[in-house]
Amino acid sequence: MVDKASDMDIEERTLYHQIHPVKLATDWVTGIIGLYFFWKHHLSIALIVAVVPSMVVSFLIIQFVDLQNYKKSRFGKYIHRYMNMWVDSARLMGYAIMAVGAWYHATWLIIPGLFMIFLAWFHGVIFHFK
């Protein structure tokens, strides 16, 4: 599927939507709120809060937002080069570690989980992989 407004296929739109400010804000806000519900042992609420809004926002951005400016940006070029399924998996694993830490009230797990997420996002800057 190619979006006529931006000449980007679904694969590109899926990649570049990740750096849209609304998507980033949604992920961070709902992620933090989700951790609160994990901490309180409300598993279903935590999963709904942590997953559903991000999925809805992703769908809306991928379908309706022109992402060309994000693709052309420095951040867009960065994620084109460094974002892949392994990085996405590392980000998810980082959040899973944080969720387990919240569930067991083990802040010593939440901090490394957060560090793993940051490391996944910025590994190209930190290690300058070619």
Digit-coded pLDDT (tens) for 59-79: 999 999 999 999 999 999 999
CB 119 within 8 A of CB 126: yes
* Whether pLDDT at 4 is above 50: no
Lowest-pLDDT range of 4-18, 57-71, 112-126? 4-18
Report which of residues 127 and 69 the model is more confident about. 69
**Per-residue pLDDT at 3 exceeds 90:** no
Other Cβ atoms less than 10 A from the Cβ of 58: the count is 19
pLDDT in tens, 80-110: 999 999 999 999 999 999 999 999 999 999 9
Which pTM value belongs to this model?
A: 0.89
Contact 97, 109 (CB under 8 A): yes
* SS3 track for the chain: CEECCCCEEHHHHHHHHHHCHHHHHHHHHHHHHHHHHHHCCCHHHHHHHHHHHHHHHHHHHHHHCCCHHHHHCHHHHHHHHHCCHHHHHHHHHHHHHHHHHHHCCCHHHHHHHHHHHHHHHHHHHHHCCC
| Mean pLDDT value of segment 5-9 | 74
Q: How confident is the model at residue 127 (pLDDT cuts 50, 70, 90)?
A: confident
pLDDT tens track for 38-66? 999 999 999 999 999 999 999 999 999 99
> Which pLDDT band, with edges at 50, 70 and 90, does 126 fall under?
confident
